Amino acid sequence: MVDTLLNIAMMHSDTLVTRAKEGDQNAQGKLIQLWYKRIYNFGYKFFLDHDLAMEVSQKTFISMCKNLAGLQDNARFKSWLYKIAVNYCREEVRKKKGDRSLSFDVVWNRDAEESPKWESTGQRYDNPESQLHRRELADILQQALGELNVEQREVVIMKEYEGLKFREIAEVLNISENTVKSRMYYGLDGLRKILDRKNINKDTIGYEL
């Protein structure tokens, strides 16, 4: 994880957590502001769907506000929060299995109607071609992530994008650290296989590693 001001603030949110636990709504609001992006992005990478990610993050933070008083160790706030998010994500997955309706975004591709995707990326200093390549690579990777099974996907996202330690992930998922590591290994391996099957390597993507 990159050390941005936001991340530093997140790492030192202990006092905020204690205040929020006492029922300070302002502190709760600040906690939400700090962590919303992380939980949203976790949800987004998990589902590759904005609406589901928004739903999961909102549920997570509502639950956080309600149950914060029950959190015993402030240092475990992060893994506690991710635990809630993971549970809601799994719940959505279960719901989706029984749901035969199509998401509206699948029928009507909103992104394709608006503007080229690479327009929204932050790296404007790159040349457009490599930007497009990067964007494509990112999309392909996201899809590959979606093809992993839920257990591996959770671990890969939490480790690679959310920067949790193996110990923390083990806490979140209530499993042993070794299981986490092995899921991570098979997750990465699975990703590589998926990409190989899609014939994606550094030559085809035109991206210099």
Partner 1 sequence: MSYKPNENDLMAYLYGELESPEREAFENYLFEHPEVRLELERLQKMRTMLSEVKDKEVIAPPIFVDEGKARVMWDAPYLKTIVSIAASLLLVILMGRLAGMKIQYEASALKISFGETQTEANGGVQAQVAGASLSAEEVQSMINASLLENNVAMQSSWKETQEKLDASINKSLAQNSSKIDKLVRDASIASQDQIREFVAGIQTENLQLVKSYFKMSSDEQKQYIESLLVDFSKYLQQQRNDDLQLVQTRLNSLEKNTDVFKQETEQILSSIITTVGNKNSIGMTN
Site residues (vs partner 1, CB under 8 A): 28, 32-33, 36-37, 40-41, 44-45, 50, 54, 57-58, 61-62, 65-66, 121-122, 134, 137-138, 141-142, 145, 156, 159-161, 165-166, 178, 181-182, 184-185, 188, 191-192, 195, 202, 207, 209
| Closer of 45 and 86 to partner 1 (Cβ) | 45
> Sign of dihedral through CA atoms 125, 130, 136, 140?
negative
Is the separation of the CB atoms in 53 and 44 below 8 Å?
A: yes
Task: Please tell me the distance from the alpha carbon of residue 41 to that of residue 26, in angstroms, as a whole number.
Answer: 23
In the chain, where do the E strands start and end?
Answer: none
Least separation in angstroms between residue 188's CB and partner 1 is 5
Least separation in angstroms between residue 75's CB and partner 1 is 17
Least separation in angstroms between residue 2's CB and partner 1 is 10
| Closer of 86 and 187 to partner 1 (Cβ) | 187
| Closer of 17 and 184 to partner 1 (Cβ) | 184
Least separation in angstroms between residue 68's CB and partner 1 is 10
Between 50-67 and 77-98, two packed helices, what is the crossing angle to 10 degrees? 130
| Closer of 42 and 86 to partner 1 (Cβ) | 42
| Closer of 37 and 100 to partner 1 (Cβ) | 37
Least separation in angstroms between residue 150's CB and partner 1 is 18
Tokens found for residue 109: 């591709």
Is the separation of the CB atoms in 61 and 36 below 8 Å?
A: yes
What is the phi/psi pair of residue 165, to 5°?
A: -80, 160
Quote the Cα angle for 172-22-167, to 5°.
15
Task: Please tell me the distance from the alpha carbon of residue 160 to that of residue 145, in angstroms, as a whole number.
Answer: 11
